[in-house]
Amino acid sequence: MPPAGGADVPAPLVVTWHMMDAPRSDAAFAAALPLADVPAWRVHLGMPWVGRRTRESGYQEALADPMLRYVDPVVRQATDEFLAALEVVRERFAVSAGPIGIVGASLGGNVALNVAARLPVEVSAVALVNPGIRARSVVEVFAGSAGTSYDWGERSRAAADELDFVAHAGLLSGRAPAPAVLVVSGELDYPNFRTDARELVATLQADYQDPARVRLTTIEGLDHPLAERPGLEPAPQLPLAKAVDRVVSAWLRANLWSGAAGGRAAPGAAVAAVPVVPAEDQR
């Protein structure tokens, strides 16, 4: 999706990874969160195993082992594909040199965190929407929704630990410069996702030189999905998705091009207030 100035005008880049819930395709996510007010290229990548990339056996594999045959391979494949995809995007479109912005929702949020924390690409702004910050929490939600429980073993615990971005928050705060991080949490999202969101934000704020560069915003009335299920095809933007779009767009506009250093804070750094989007702002 080109910037308002047109496809021939060099502009910064924002890359997104969608949910595995609705909206669960790149096109559907672009309709739910178009980010049209951000003067940048918005490139919506398709997550593995869903949308145009659906695997017929994917759900059965996920049921058999949601950590080692679903969460871990999906996040790792999406991460492993990113640098090659970024190179193609930069060659194909009039993308400005410099840091990029990234947006991830649900399991796509874990991908966004993995990219920002571990890949050799400069990210100036991160926005996460109802993110799966800890792989363990994603597995618990998936198993619970399927009416099963998960028997954690040594390999699955190790894989989940690798994709626990509260435990690995230092990989973000240790970047030079550290990206500005926004976590958007639905008031009605899964309880463990909301707990992880609060813990990630508190951990990062304590570690950043400027804790205001990390923010948690709660959207009243928002459940986990951002679109009506099944959410594979583009659909009109829901009012609550519009509220998320407004918050994420404002964050990207404020931080996508900022060169402010995040860095590590001195011990005892203050924690910024957590803003809440009131119900009247969601219309």
* Residue that is written with structure tokens 């899964």 in the block: 190
C-alpha 41/C-alpha 35 separation (Å) is 10
Q: Is the confidence at residue 189, as pLDDT, over 60?
A: yes
Task: Specify whether the CB–CB gap between 263 and 207 falls below 8 A.
Answer: no
Q: What is the pLDDT of residues 15-32, one digit of tens each?
A: 999 999 999 999 999 999
**Whether the predicted pLDDT of 57 surpasses 80:** no
**What is the Cβ-side half-sphere exposure of residue 61, based on CA atoms within 13 angstroms?**
14
Lowest mean pLDDT among 173-177, 226-230, 273-277: 273-277
At 276 the pLDDT is 37
- What is the rounded CA–CA span in Å between residue 175 and residue 177? 5
pLDDT of 274 over the 70 cut: no
* Chain centroid, CA 185 distance in Å: 11
Identify the pLDDT of residue 230. 94
Mean of pLDDT values over 193-199: 98
Classify residue 253 by burial, with Cβ atoms within 10 Å: 0-12, 13-18, 19+: middle
Burial of 275: CB neighbours in 10 Å, binned 0-12, 13-18, 19+: exposed
| pLDDT computed for residue 63 by the predictor | 78
Q: What is the mean pLDDT of residues 59-76?
A: 89
pLDDT of 258 reads 58
Whether the pLDDT of residue 283 is over 90: the answer is: no
Residues 23, 108 contacting (CB under 8 angstroms): no
Q: Omega of the bond prior to 23 within 30 degrees of 0, cis? A: yes
Query: Residues with Cβ < 8 Å from 139, sequence gap 6 or more?
Result: 66, 67, 71, 150, 156, 160
The predicted pLDDT at position 163 comes to: 98
Q: What is the pLDDT of residues 132-176, one digit of tens each?
A: 999 999 999 999 988 889 999 999 999 999 999 999 999 999 999
pLDDT of 272:
32
Secondary element (H or E) of residue 15: strand 13-17
Predicted confidence at residue 58, as pLDDT, reads: 67
Residue range 74-107, pLDDT digits in tens: 999 999 999 999 999 999 999 998 999 999 999 9
pLDDT at 5: 78
More confident residue, 23 or 64: 23
- Which uninterrupted H or E stretch holds 219? strand 214-219
pLDDT value of residue 8: 84
Confidence of residue 282 (pLDDT cuts 50, 70, 90): very low
pLDDT at 281 over 70: no
- Could you please report the per-residue DSSP string of 95-160? BPSS-EEEEEETHHHHHHHHHHHHSSS-EEEEEEES---BHHHHHHHHHHHTT------HHHHHHH
pLDDT value of residue 279: 35
**Least reliable range by pLDDT among 41-45, 133-137, 227-231, 258-262:** 258-262
Mean pLDDT of 183-204: 98
Backbone angles phi, psi at 163, to 5 degrees: -110, 35
What's the average model confidence in pLDDT over 116-144? 97
Chain Cα centroid distance, residue 149: 26
154-162 vs 135-145: helix axis angle to the nearest 10? 120
Sheet holding 13-17, edge to edge: 41-45, 13-17, 100-105, 123-129, 180-186, 214-219, 276-277
Pick 145 or 114 by higher pLDDT.
Answer: 114
Q: Hunting for tokens 């463990």 — which residue is that?
A: 192
Query: What pLDDT score does 235 carry?
Result: 98
Give the domains, in start order, of the chain with CATH numbers: 13-282 (3.40.50.1820)
Percent of the chain with pLDDT over 70: 90
Q: Is 171 helix (H, G, I), strand (E, B) or coil?
A: helix
Collapsed DSSP state (helix, strand, coil) of residue 197: helix
